[in-house]
Amino acid sequence: FYDSYLKSNNWQFKERPEYLRDQGALDESDPRVPRIIIPNYITMMSNCLNVSAYYDLCCIDLCEDLLDTLEFEIQAPQASPEQIRKVLSASASAYVEVGRNWTQWLIKKLNEVAEHHGGQVPLHGRLFAQWLHFAYPNECAYPHLSGSTQPATDIEWQKRTGKSSEATREEMLIIINASNQAFGPSTPDDSEEDMSMWALEEELVDGANWQAPVSQVPPVRRP
């Protein structure tokens, strides 16, 4: 991240860790080597352009395309894990081709979400959004728990904290050197099974009225 700025003097990729943390764009599950959560970073408020007094122009949320497909095909607020995998397998995304094979880890975690809700997966909840992030890490943002982030533009953050949102060159080099010492010539494990940010904590859009659908069991006929 910082290497890109230092080597090419890119106008981006220079935010300080404190600012990235408040925006929910920093994965610190391994404190030795904090990493940028790409879709969370892309959709930060500081990356939006103020083009009008009424609205800002922000990057497209690619995960919306996946949710649109699920809503169109399922036409219900919940679905079984099998339904979800079938619909998504038949759909291409910006980075994943049609016909993907699901890893056992992703199958297990989606089933875990369903079990948490009595056998069905709510499409508009934090747990499913979290699963989508691990299934589509370049498209779907990681859904932090409510209140754990403080979205703000760089100017708003600077006014609130009294600090610049940009890291100095010296701070960048310290972080780069610490990461290199932690891993040496190797790179961190990006496998799904290593993703320790998974948390079985749900937040629903309409949690007060959520009820898992009851299976339609035919009545037993008595002789």
pLDDT tens-digit profile of 82-101? 999 999 999 999 899 999 99
pLDDT bin (cut points 50, 70, 90) of residue 2 is low
C-alpha–C-alpha distance, residues 21 and 33, integer Å: 14
Which burial class, exposed, middle or buried, applies to 96 when counting CB atoms under 10 A from its CB (0-12, 13-18, 19+)?
middle
For the residues 43-67, what does the mean pLDDT come to?
A: 91
pTM for the model: 0.83
Q: Where are the beta strands (DSSP E) in the chain?
A: 26-27, 35-36, 49-50, 56-57, 78-79, 121-122
Question: Looking at this protein, which amino acid is placed at residue 93?
Answer: S
Q: Give the pLDDT of residue 120.
A: 96
C-alpha–C-alpha distance, residues 11 and 167, integer Å: 12
State whether the Cα torsion 129-131-134-137 is positive or negative.
negative
> How many CA atoms lie within 13 Å of 120's alpha carbon, on the beta-carbon side?
14
